[in-house]
Amino acid sequence: MITRGSKFFYAAAVVGFVTAIVYGFLTGAAAHSGVIGVFQDGDVVNSIVGPLTFGWKGWVGDHVGYSVLMGFAAVMAALGGFSTAFRDGSADVLVAMDGRDPATATNPPVLTPVGLSYWPMAGAFGVAVSVVGLAVDTTLFWVGVVLLAIVMVSWTVRAWAERATGDQGANRELRHDLMDPLEVPVLSVLTLAVIVLCISRLLLAIPQEVAVYMIIMAAIIVFVMAFILASRPELTRTVVVSVLLVGGVVIIAAGIAGGVAGEQTGEEHGAGIAPTVVVDSASGSGAVDTLTLLAGE
């Protein structure tokens, strides 16, 4: 039976699919002999079959718009399937999945998440890194994309593990056993890559003399903050994560500022100019009277 909530998704999927077919037909016909022309030339079959077969037979006009509409239809259909499978999150269905009788059960057990999830903040950080990478450096953009992929996988596994069993301690251990071998090394490498790229953009944008003192001060600040956090074990995890988050925002802001300012040329006064040779020779003879070397200004 199709549930009430899934009807909305199925309807949206049908609308998206039909719109994609019409859009592909109109843009495909316009790219050839026009909508009326394809009927006159006998190419109407290619204009219709193309959108129906995703461009395998016939033709599709604007591939970008057609793909967006088809993607929307596919997402809506998938959401409708999930809504139908889980019966719109009905409490009776949850009780039945738990193995109890819905007629006698009153309050189905509800599992609350263990602790706070920091993956939303990590996802926002990945989006910020990707946006900065689009303006500053392609490598930084791909670092943000990889970070977003890890966030999606880790967040999904966490949501699954919290409901895997009735024991939250066992759920926590299950998640760590699955994801720690992946998260720890990959996130460490990505974090170092972001720091190196952003700091390098900043240091290249300022004079060399200032850059030396700035990187020394940054190292001192990082050392002092690490010492304070390590010496205060009573600090909550939220405080530590907040400090790291603020540091990440500062580093990204520095990378943005350095990328916008551009690199310093660093040319010294008079560097790279070849000396000028002036030869004064006596009239009618090949003897050289004077030789003066002038360094260009």
Domain ranges of the chain: 4-97, 119-261
Mean pLDDT computed over 14-40: 80
Percent of the chain, pLDDT > 70?
A: 76
> Measured between alpha carbons, how far is 33 from 47 in angstroms, rounded to an integer?
11
pLDDT tens digits for range 173-219 = 877 787 788 778 887 887 888 788 888 888 888 888 888 888 888 88
Per-residue confidence band for 291, with pLDDT thresholds at 50, 70 and 90:
very low
pLDDT tens digits for range 217-261 = 888 988 888 888 888 877 777 777 778 878 878 887 887 777 777
Who contacts 281 (Cβ-Cβ below 8 Å, separation ≥6)? 287, 288, 289
Report the pLDDT value the prediction gives residue 110, as an integer from 0 to 100: 52
Residues in the chain, overall count: 297
Paired strand residues for 280: 290
Do residues 259 and 136 touch, judged by C-beta distance below 8 A?
yes
Who contacts 105 (Cβ-Cβ below 8 Å, separation ≥6)? 95, 98
Q: Does the pLDDT value for residue 66 go beyond 70?
A: yes
Which two three-digit tokens encode residue 290? 């004077």
**Segment among 124-128, 135-139, 150-154 with least mean pLDDT:** 135-139
Per-residue confidence band for 296, with pLDDT thresholds at 50, 70 and 90:
very low
* Strand (E) or helix (H) holding 278: strand 276-281
Per-residue confidence band for 136, with pLDDT thresholds at 50, 70 and 90:
low
Do residues 16 and 76 touch, judged by C-beta distance below 8 A?
yes
